Structure 1
Amino acid sequence: MGLFILISGVQLCHAQTTTSTYTKAEQDIFDLSKKKWDWMAVKNIDSLGVLFDDKSVFVHMGGSWGKAQELNVIKSGNIWYKKTSVYSVSVNFFANTAILLNDIDLVAVVGGNEVVNPFMVTEVYVKENDRWKMGSLTFSKLLRPVRTTDQIPQQK
């Protein structure tokens, strides 16, 4: 009986978070993040170059670097952010800073090999002159299994 109540409570909490309405500021950041994933998938360097602040930092499993190297990595195809499945998103605001968390599965091509990884991605945006700029993008690998089963590369 106790387990049933616990599961029901978890389901209710999930339902409440997925049906809530967002403020305009929250929706703007969510929309900007979605555009960013789309631009990364199609290697839209021009739009990403405007979004990424000149002092921005990018943290990956294999290292960290700045704006110029991230744009070069995307342009060259060394990392192709092929498909992002976003399962949850949240944002917290601190003055002119927004910190967004995405629970995702990322299908990427890295060094010519397609891989799928579950990540919690932290995006930091700073609002200057009425425009949001990305200051940081950090990928933290999750221990949960991948959920994007239709895009998992076949094991040989």
Structure 2
Amino acid sequence: MKALIVALIISTSFTYAFAQQAKLETVVKKETKSEQEIIQLSKDKWDWMSSKDAEKLDKLFDEKSVFVHMGGSWGKKQELDVIKSGGIWYKKADIHETSVNIIENTAIILTKMDLVAVVGGNEVTNPFIVTEVFVKKSGTWKLGSLSFTKTMTPEKK
């Protein structure tokens, strides 16, 4: 009987230890290679938008992509035209937090940021949560949607 009780205590201890380790791994989750790849692609996109690199953005944006801004929504051609013309200059994306969820061939990125932009010749800074949806097509990630949601207070580190 004593051996059974000792075995039960040891078994319970191991189960608890493994549960605590699993909990710790959940809290300290590292991004997978695919998640790292898509986060880097998102960061590159902000750099390309800042430098008005319409050629790289044209390759990244899917033909059916949509863009939702504070002042309206439109498709790929209009977004590229706005960037080329300087109608909106995404001057600097001050990124504070990024998370990504990959569901099969779709990646959803949420980014908390303060965006410095020049709109109609006026420099403005707005706190946003930006939602990006990427779809993997023929082994390549394409941006399908980019939406800005203005938050009430600036995102600070």
Measure the CA separation in 2 of the matches of 1:133 and 1:117.
26
Q: Which residue of 1 aligns with 2:106?
A: 97
Q: Which residue of 2 aligns with 1:26?
A: 35
Is the Cα–Cα contact under 8 Å of residues 116 and 146 in structure 1 kept in the other structure?
Answer: no
Is the Cα–Cα contact under 8 Å of residues 112 and 155 in structure 2 kept in the other structure?
Answer: no
Is the Cα–Cα contact under 8 Å of residues 96 and 155 in structure 2 kept in the other structure?
Answer: no
Is the Cα–Cα contact under 8 Å of residues 86 and 104 in structure 1 kept in the other structure?
Answer: yes
Q: Which residue of 2 aligns with 1:67?
A: 76
Is the Cα–Cα contact under 8 Å of residues 115 and 126 in structure 2 kept in the other structure?
Answer: yes
Identify if the C-alpha distance between structure 1 residues 62 and 21 changes in structure 2 by more than 3 Å, giving closer, same or farther.
same
Displacement of 1:18: 10
Q: Which residue of 1 aligns with 2:91?
A: 82
Identify if the C-alpha distance between structure 1 residues 17 and 118 changes in structure 2 by more than 3 Å, giving closer, same or farther.
farther
Which is greater in Rg?
Answer: 2
Greater than 4 Å deviation, 4+ residue runs:
16-20
1:35 aligned to 2:49?
no
Q: Which residue of 2 aligns with 1:125?
A: 134
Q: Secondary structure of the equivalent of 1:71?
A: helix
Q: TM-score, structure 1 length as denominator?
A: 0.81
Measure the CA separation in 2 of the matches of 1:30 and 1:98.
10
Superimposed CA distance per residue, residues 65-88 of structure 1 (whole angstroms, 9 cap, x where no aligned partner): 000000000000000000011000
Q: TM-score, structure 2 length as denominator?
A: 0.80
Percent identity over the alignment is: 61
Letter in 1 for 2:60: L
Displacement of 1:20: 4.8
Q: Which residue of 1 aligns with 2:115?
A: 106
How many residues are treated as equivalent by the alignment? 133
Unaligned ranges ≥5, structure 2 = 1-24
